[in-house]
């Protein structure tokens, strides 16, 4: 549970850090292109890009530590590449059964699903062209693939199971969106 809280705290820092830039860019884009928008839509846009920044901060950016006043950037200490599909099941089952460790299940399995639910929910909520499942899930898959590829030169682990778990999370988010009340969904979309 501590590692989940640490992830959330670290994501929150980057999310707040990017907020002023999002506000400035959106303000000038709206003014320049004379876009008709609503405050609720703009809150959604800001939330989406804040979340995306938080996600990328945990998956692509190196970790930053301080050691006696010295700032240390750490990309990773090993490179593990898993190309064996569904290996996550064996790994988490063995960790639970033989070591009584639930952390791999929570972080590697559930975490990879949950972290992409906002992608599947917010994309179609904010942009009409993502109202189709294949587009939204496709973007979730491509985002996950991009993250996995960008992790390779950083000595971080890259896992084929992350692709389908993240896509599953995007699908869950899309299902939540589809079952959301239409009255609320319409308030977020531009007319």
**Which burial class, exposed, middle or buried, applies to 97 when counting CB atoms under 10 A from its CB (0-12, 13-18, 19+)?**
exposed
d(CA 4, CA 15) in angstroms, rounded, equals 16
Whole-number Å distance between alpha carbons of 11 and 190: 28
Examine the pLDDT at 135 and tell me if it is beyond 60.
Answer: yes
**Is 31 exposed, middle or buried, given 0-12, 13-18 or 19+ CB atoms closer than 10 A?**
exposed
* Average pLDDT taken over every residue of the chain: 87
- Percent of the residues in the chain that have a pLDDT greater than 70, as a whole number: 89
Question: What percentage of the chain has pLDDT greater than the value 90?
Answer: 51
What is residue 78's predicted lDDT score, i.e. its pLDDT?
A: 57
Mark out the alpha helices in 34-74 (DSSP H runs).
Answer: 39-59
* pLDDT grade for 130, boundaries at 50, 70 and 90: very high
- Do 108 and 80 form a contact (C-beta atoms < 8 A)? no
182, pLDDT greater than 60? yes
Q: Can you give the pLDDT at residue 104?
A: 76
Residue 85 burial (CB < 10 Å; 0-12/13-18/19+)? exposed
Which phi and psi (to 5°) does residue 180 adopt?
A: -75, 145
- Is the pLDDT at 151 greater than 90? The verdict is no
Of all helices (H) and strands (E), which one includes residue 26? helix 2-33
pLDDT-derived band at 27, boundaries 50, 70, 90:
very high
pLDDT at residue 161 tops 60 = yes
Reported pTM:
0.85
Q: What is the pLDDT of residues 68-113, one digit of tens each?
A: 666 555 555 556 787 888 888 888 888 888 788 777 787 888 989 9
CA-CA distance, 176 to 150, in Å (whole number)? 29
First to last CA, the chain: 42
Q: What is the pLDDT of residue 191?
A: 54
What pLDDT score was predicted for residue 184?
Answer: 86
Q: What pLDDT, on the 0 to 100 scale, is given for residue 132?
A: 95
Computed from CA positions of residues 147, 13, 165, 155, in that sequence, does the dihedral angle turn out positive or negative? positive
């Amino acid at each position: 549970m501590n590692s989940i809280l640490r992830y959330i705290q670290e994501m929150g820092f980057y999310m707040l850090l990017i907020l002023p830039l999002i506000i400035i860019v959106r303000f000038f884009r709206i003014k320049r292109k004379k876009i008709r928008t609503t405050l609720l839509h703009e809150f959604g846009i800001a939330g989406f890009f804040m979340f995306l920044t938080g996600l990328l901060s945990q998956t692509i950016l190196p970790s930053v530590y301080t050691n006696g006043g010295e700032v240390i950037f750490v990309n990773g200490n090993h490179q593990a590449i898993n190309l064996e599909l569904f290996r996550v099941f064996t790994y988490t089952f063995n960790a639970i059964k033989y070591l009584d460790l639930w952390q791999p299940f929570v972080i590697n399995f559930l975490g990879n699903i949950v972290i992409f639910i906002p992608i599947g929910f917010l994309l179609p909520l904010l942009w009409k062209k993502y109202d189709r499942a294949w587009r939204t899930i496709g973007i979730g898959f491509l985002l996950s693939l991009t993250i996995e590829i960008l992790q390779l030169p950083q000595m971080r682990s890259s896992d084929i199971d992350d692709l389908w778990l993240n896509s599953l999370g995007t699908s869950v988010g899309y299902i939540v969106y589809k079952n959301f009340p239409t009255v609320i969904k319409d308030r977020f979309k531009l007319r």
